[in-house]
Amino acid sequence: MLDVSGLSAGYDKLQVLHEIDLAVADGQLLAVIGANGAGKSTLLRALSGLLRPSAGRITLAGRELTGLSAEAIAAAGLAHVPENRLVFPSLTVSDNLALGGWTRRRDGTAVAARRAQVLELFPRLATRLDQPAGTLSGGEQQMVAIGRGLMAGPKVLVLDEPSLGLAPRLVGEIFAALARLKAEHELAIVLVEQNARAAFRVADEVVVMDRGRVVATGSPAVLADDDRVRSAYLGGNYSTATS
């Protein structure tokens, strides 16, 4: 679905990403892990067109996205849920979701179906539709941010640190929703996560980034067997059998 090859990008004269290769198929979740400053958020910004790549290619279902504007990339089917769950705080949950479906507003049936899907995925939101989004808990705001991304009917969802600062139970709810989105809705998902243990549980494939480069790629089981990956990101006592 999403194919990235040789992607380089940065800010002004600072090159942050160096020849990144990755791919994610329909119904698959790719987790991107790495230390602070490894370039994970920069990678997502380059994918969604917020940052223009200096080299490399990005294709979505065979269609070239490289160099397109953020609006064109969103319209092509890539939804970016940025860090810090950016909701419109004074707008209701319902209006936040409606804004996510704005580009499809002429197709009322599709928008209504998407909204029903989001509320089924996040039942907490169904009882809070008229509440200003800024008054929700952090986890509920994250659900609104993901829901808003889903309203556009994307083919690929890219998420930046959805678990940041959330209580474990809410992290569990959000990751369970991601698992359903890939399994039941065949969505391709790219998940940037600091919480590597949680990411390993839900991922089909993991990419490890270090200083702007991909330094390891593989299934969670294979990477968890790699001593360096385990000790750096998973803690010494991690086991795929008991997690």
Ligand X SMILES: Nc1ncnc2c1ncn2[C@@H]1O[C@H](COP(=O)(O)OP(=O)(O)OP(=O)(O)O)[C@@H](O)[C@H]1O
Which positions lie near ligand X, rule CB under 6 A?
Answer: 11, 14, 16, 34, 36-42, 194
Nearer to ligand X by Cβ, of 33 and 119: the residue is 33
Residue closer to ligand X (CB basis): 20 or 74 = 20
- The closest alpha carbon to 20, from 189, 200, 188, 207, belongs to 207
Q: How far apart are the first and last CA of the chain?
A: 29
**Chain-centre distance for alpha carbon 66:** 19
Nearer to ligand X, 14 or 241 (CB): 14
Q: C-beta of 142: minimal distance to ligand X in Å?
A: 16
**Least Å from the CB of residue 10 to ligand X:** 7
Q: Pairing state of beta strands 188-192 and 55-60?
A: unpaired
Residue 43 vs 152, nearer CB to ligand X: 43
Spatial distance between the Cα atoms of 3 and 210, rounded to a whole number of angstroms: 20
CB of 73 to ligand X, least distance (A): 18
Instruction: Name the minimum Å distance from CB 191 to ligand X.
Output: 13
- Angle ∠(117,118,121) on CA atoms, nearest 5: 85
Asked whether 211 and 62 are in contact (CB, 8 A), the reply is: no
